[in-house]
Amino acid sequence: MAGRLVTVDGGEGAGKTTQMGFMREYLERRGYRVVTTREPGGTSLGEEIRALLLGHRDGGMTLAAETLLMFAARAEHLERVIRPVLATGCWVLCDRFTDATYAYQGGGRGLPLERIAVLEEWVQGELRPDLTLLLDVPVATGLTRAGKRGVADRFERENVDFFERVRAIYLERATHEPNRCRVVDASQSVEAVRAEVEAMLAEWLESG
């Protein structure tokens, strides 16, 4: 039986990386084999693209280039990691996926969402996450958490309005796809978020 694709998404400092570690432990305790990965990245070429996307400073980057690079990394990731791993029956737990493109390039930067849908169709075909956990946190809280990490990357240097638009698109997508997306209140303590995430996973696993 094929594995399941579970994605974790959310704005800055939502705690995705922190919670993904707990989620992996939780699933493994229940006997699932789990591979964790991230976007942009997850392959050798994908990580090189990630470095360009996050670090490029020389004259910035057009929105078309940024979006196409996200999908170039995703195409590699899908063909070299995600699809082969799922085919072995292992689960893939992915830190960010296409919801992030809708939220950041669509909501944040204003790219028409229909253009992203065309790329999604081309690169992913029928493949969509089985489950997406949206870790939702007020922008100010997330930025305060992220700000403690030191040098800001190309996205982290954006302003509050940008991140409010990102958050709005994430929440809109979750509202429109309630079967796939579960929203978690990520403004709580690490342990409280962990408990909420594990309860959601338990409920989802039981529901089939």
CA-nearest of 193, 180, 178 to 13 is: 193
Q: Rounded to a whole number, what is the distance in angstroms from the first to the last CA of the chain?
A: 14
Cβ 158 to ligand Z5A shortest distance, Å: 8
| CB contact at 8 A, 5 and 129 | yes
Helix (H) or strand (E) holding 94: strand 91-95
- Pick between residue 144 and residue 175 the one whose CB is nearest to ligand Z5A: 144
- For ligand Z5A, the binding residues in 62-101 under the rule CB under 6 A are 70, 95-96, 100-101
Residue 44 touching ligand Z5A (CB under 6 A)? no
- Pick between residue 69 and residue 86 the one whose CB is nearest to ligand Z5A: 69
Residue 136 touching ligand Z5A (CB under 6 A)? no
Cα 192 to chain centroid distance, Å, stands at: 21
> Which token pair is 140?
């100010």
Binds ligand Z5A (CB under 6 A): choice among 145, 164, 198, 205: 145
- Pick between residue 12 and residue 136 the one whose CB is nearest to ligand Z5A: 12
Residue 106 touching ligand Z5A (CB under 6 A)? no
| CB contact at 8 A, 53 and 70 | yes
Binds ligand Z5A (CB under 6 A): choice among 39, 120, 136, 196: 39
